[in-house]
Structure 1
Amino acid sequence: MLTVGSTAPGASAKTNWVFARNKTAGGTAYHEAGNGEPLVLIHGVGMRLEAWAPQILALSAGHRVIAVDMPGHGETARLPVGSRLEQFVAWFGQFLDEMAIETANVAGHSMGALVSGGAAATFGSRIKRVAYLNGVYRRDPAAKAAVLARAAAIPLTGVDKEGPLLRWFGDDPDSVVARDLTRNWLNLVDPEGYAVAYSAFAEGDETYADRWKDVAGPALFLTGSDDPNSTPLMATQMAALAPNGWVRIVEGHRHMVNLTAPDIVNALLAEWLSEGEDVK
């Protein structure tokens, strides 16, 4: 495990990132930039493809970067009520088919990490590399009970817009702009689509947990040292199971580390994309 100190500024002072979207025949909205080997980015619950803005802007210099709106978010229609993580992975496979992408590097954040991990476990060599940012793995009983309770409350109380901000951000200067961006995206989310995705997220921490041994390509497990839910211990446990797994921990950051420490995360993703199997 390598811990990376954070001296980089947080998200840009720009607070109105909006990217033009295209849609596949199946209705998945996406933004594409750059040329080269494909890199597909999958955001977390409550977010939208703009949550990858710093990575889109930086990594499209050398890759064909494709950021997607997950079902029920942005401009992509939600999946049916009761859909589980497997259905989100199947959606992603359909997206790759519709985009005629034979092999891809895939980076997912939070719920997107669960989807990317499921894709790596089930699509074989089609997923060349996987990056698992702030992703969960076998929650302990207390954390599992808490996330299931939050999922059960959504149909009754709607989208909780403040609880995630308290869990995902500290009071440091790096988090100020990122917190405002995240609050705005939570305000825009479709409540029903959020509920479907959050339920799949709450129940999905063990769905592919035994499959990391089957992921042959380079697997990066990245999180913030202070993330209370997607912990450094989880990242270390998964990396130990993956044949080519390696860990990077960003010191002093929490859940939205790709926004609060974008320069560091961009550098770590570039390392993963360029050196892969040689980096430990």
Structure 2
Amino acid sequence: MTSTTLLLSEPYGPVTCQRAGQGRPLVLIHGVGMQSAAWGPQIEAFAQTHEIIALNMPGHGGSAPLPEGAELPDYVAWLHAVLQALNLGPVSLAGHSMGALIAGGYAVCHPQNVARVALLNGVFQRSDEARRAVEARAAEIRAGSFDLETPLARWFGGSPADQAARAQVAEWLSGVNLAGYAAAYTAFARGDCTYADGFAGIRCPLLALTGDGDPNSTPAMAQAMADSAPQGMAVVIEGHRHMVNLTAPAEVNAALQDWLNTEGATS
């Protein structure tokens, strides 16, 4: 695996990523507070057959932050600039959590550049109550409150696999750039409906995957995303929560392999 820095023009600046393997391109986008290494089990599995590009989101992992006040469309525009610079042609695009919001928005806005899209632990048309709660957390983060334990308790159970992943995720969260974290979380809080009406226009194979114990990226949301897209499919991993790609890598990788094997009109 090779660490690479792309030097984009303003307003984006440097973008860091991990690259591995050869073959058809598979682009991975992590969630808020994480970094490209959060895709470790997927990079190891799919670098055998694909060229993997695991991006660090703006303000994370050494990538430059977006300007103050950035919203989800600004992150989608950032991804477009990255993919244009990489000049890969249509890609298989997978995102986790905030990365899923970016990936879904990108598939809506730039369908010609997406062969298939996978949305792991994504959010979709939150209830008013859920939106108020996540926007309140975003406001606290912008005010400088950094609560490590609350997200960890929400994301992980008590199994040995969960606890091992929790320790690694805690390390990543502890080292996050707070300004980048706050900006991305704010866009995450406000972005669950931004592109929802456009999912009907996503003609490529779409995988919506989550854990049955994820209270915020719920199975109902995954099913709603899948139902909204012509080639949508929902997968729910039982006994797992928000960081399902780390706590249930074998099951997630099997679902991703099926998705990668699904041919669509833009593949």
TM-score, normalised with respect to structure 1: 0.91
Please state whether the residue corresponding to 2:7 is helix, strand or coil: coil
From 97, 111, 119, the equivalent of 1:110 is: 97
From 20, 25, 35, the equivalent of 2:7 is: 25
From 104, 107, 111, the equivalent of 1:120 is: 107
2:213 aligned with 1:226, yes or no?
Answer: yes
Rate the CA distance shift 1:268–1:245 in 2: closer, same or farther, 3 A.
same
Aligned to 1:14: none
Please state whether the residue corresponding to 1:21 is helix, strand or coil: strand
Per the TM alignment, residue 198 of structure 1 is displaced from its structure 2 partner at its CA by: 0.4
**Counterpart Cα distance in 2 of 1:96 and 1:20:** 18
Please state whether the residue corresponding to 1:157 is helix, strand or coil: coil
* Per-residue deviation, residues 245-270 of structure 1 (Å, max 9, x unmatched): 00111001000000000111111101
From 127, 142, 158, the equivalent of 1:140 is: 127
Identity fraction in percent: 49
Paired AA for residue 6 in structure 2 = T
Is residue 158–residue 191 contact of structure 1 (8 Å, CA) maintained in 2? Answer: no
From 173, 176, 182, the equivalent of 2:169 is: 182
Please state whether the residue corresponding to 2:138 is helix, strand or coil: helix
* Per-residue deviation, residues 8-34 of structure 1 (Å, max 9, x unmatched): xxxxxxxxxxx6421112111011111
Paired AA for residue 261 in structure 1 = A
Aligned to 1:262: 249
Paired AA for residue 29 in structure 1 = T
Is residue 212–residue 218 contact of structure 2 (8 Å, CA) maintained in 1? Answer: yes
2:62 aligned with 1:75, yes or no?
Answer: yes
Q: How many aligned residue pairs are there?
A: 260
Is residue 135–residue 190 contact of structure 2 (8 Å, CA) maintained in 1? Answer: yes
Per the TM alignment, residue 155 of structure 1 is displaced from its structure 2 partner at its CA by: 2.5
Please state whether the residue corresponding to 1:154 is helix, strand or coil: helix
Paired AA for residue 234 in structure 1 = M
Q: Answer 1 or 2: higher relative contact order, Cα 8 Å, separation at least 6.
A: 1
Aligned to 1:35: 22
Rate the CA distance shift 1:175–1:208 in 2: closer, same or farther, 3 A.
same
Paired AA for residue 3 in structure 2 = R
Aligned to 2:178: 191
Paired AA for residue 261 in structure 2 = S
2:32 aligned with 1:45, yes or no?
Answer: yes
Is residue 83–residue 200 contact of structure 1 (8 Å, CA) maintained in 2? Answer: yes
Segments ≥4 residues shifted beyond 6 Å: none
Structure 1, unmatched stretches of 5+, are 1-18
**Counterpart Cα distance in 1 of 2:153 and 2:181:** 18
Structure 2, unmatched stretches of 5+, are 9-13
Per the TM alignment, residue 160 of structure 1 is displaced from its structure 2 partner at its CA by: 2.1
* Per-residue deviation, residues 126-161 of structure 1 (Å, max 9, x unmatched): 111000000000111111111000000113233321
* Per-residue deviation, residues 140-192 of structure 1 (Å, max 9, x unmatched): 11111110000001132333211110111111222011000110000111000
Is residue 42–residue 69 contact of structure 1 (8 Å, CA) maintained in 2? Answer: yes
From 252, 259, 262, the equivalent of 1:272 is: 259
* Per-residue deviation, residues 173-224 of structure 1 (Å, max 9, x unmatched): 2201100011000011100000100000000000001011010000000000
Is residue 208–residue 222 contact of structure 2 (8 Å, CA) maintained in 1? Answer: yes
Is residue 30–residue 57 contact of structure 2 (8 Å, CA) maintained in 1? Answer: yes
Is residue 105–residue 127 contact of structure 1 (8 Å, CA) maintained in 2? Answer: yes
Per the TM alignment, residue 241 of structure 1 is displaced from its structure 2 partner at its CA by: 1.0
Aligned to 1:244: 231
**Counterpart Cα distance in 1 of 2:16 and 2:254:** 27
Aligned to 1:65: 52
Per the TM alignment, residue 276 of structure 1 is displaced from its structure 2 partner at its CA by: 4.3
**Counterpart Cα distance in 1 of 2:229 and 2:110:** 15
Rate the CA distance shift 1:277–1:98 in 2: closer, same or farther, 3 A.
closer
Please state whether the residue corresponding to 1:82 is helix, strand or coil: coil
